[in-house]
Amino acid sequence: MKFLTLFFPCVCPFCGAVIRDDQKCCKNCVKFTKITAHKQLLYEKYPTASLFRHDDVYRRAILKYKYHCQKQLYIPYSLMLQELIDEAFGDIKFDYYTSVPPHKRKKDNKFDQAGLLAKETARINKCKYVQFMEQVKDSKSQHHLHREERFVNVRGIYRVCDKRRSMLAGKNILLFDDVVTTGATLNECAQALMMQNANMVCCITVNW
């Protein structure tokens, strides 16, 4: 049993029923976990796979994780992401998993939602998790911005930490985030990784 689950039992992402930490959801919600892997090529460069459309039950579930302190949802989500990796990227050997860094502005809420998903999935898949990036500039929340504004808003805000740069040359990286909308944030992070001569960056998210 994981430390966190002693205090906060695992719950079904879709209905909130208590589940075990080796379950993706409760038995009534199994119908929601059928993965129809959605793959897209972000900016014609970065293969990106997601579990669910950002709608209905899936939207409510990820918002509970992101904003409503149901941190323990990282456990069932990681089980689902691990299956998605097999399905979408089964032919790729990743050297590292990494994640979009948590927002700098969130002083009161240090919850690293993408990092938690990436770390747990790395643990399951016996891959190495490294946070390569840091946010160097502040940005507005992307939430209320239009597509074009989102690109401008995140331009140049991430970079690879100095001491991690030498680790990336020739490596295959899997980059995690919770939701991809326009892809501006993932694109910015992927570019920062490629600038340090990574061989390949693929992205994975819960919702798209």
**Using CA atoms, how far apart are residues 83 and 87, in angstroms rounded to an integer?**
6
Binding flag, residue 100, Zn ion (CB under 5 A): no
Binding flag, residue 61, Zn ion (CB under 5 A): no
- The upper half-sphere exposure of residue 26, i.e. CA atoms within 13 Å in the direction of its Cβ, equals 12
**Using CA atoms, how far apart are residues 73 and 9, in angstroms rounded to an integer?**
10
Residues in CB range of 110: below 8 A, 6 or more apart: 102
Binding flag, residue 180, Zn ion (CB under 5 A): no
If the CB atoms of residues 30 and 169 are measured against Zn ion, the closer one turns out to be 30
Are 49 and 61 within 8 A, CB to CB? no
Binding flag, residue 184, Zn ion (CB under 5 A): no
* Inter-CA distances, 154 with 65, 66, 126, 196, Å: 23, 19, 32, 19
Binding flags for Zn ion, 17-46, as an x/- string (CB under 5 A): x--------x--x-----------------
Q: Cβ 204 to Zn ion, closest distance in Å?
A: 23
If the CB atoms of residues 57 and 92 are measured against Zn ion, the closer one turns out to be 57
If the CB atoms of residues 56 and 86 are measured against Zn ion, the closer one turns out to be 56
Q: Cβ 48 to Zn ion, closest distance in Å?
A: 27
Binding flag, residue 122, Zn ion (CB under 5 A): no
Taking CB under 5 A as the criterion, the residue among 14, 96, 132, 176 binding Zn ion is: 14
Q: Cβ 80 to Zn ion, closest distance in Å?
A: 13
Pairing of β 38-42 and β 46-52? antiparallel
Stretch that binds Zn ion, among 9-17, 100-108, 137-145, 194-202 (CB under 5 A): 9-17
In total, the chain counts a number of residues equal to 208
Picking from 79, 43, 51, 80, the residue whose alpha carbon sits closest to that of residue 154 is: 43
Are 206 and 81 within 8 A, CB to CB? yes
Taking CB under 5 A as the criterion, the residue among 4, 8, 15, 70 binding Zn ion is: 15
Binding flag, residue 51, Zn ion (CB under 5 A): no
Count of residues of this chain found to bind Zn ion when the rule CB under 5 A is applied:
6
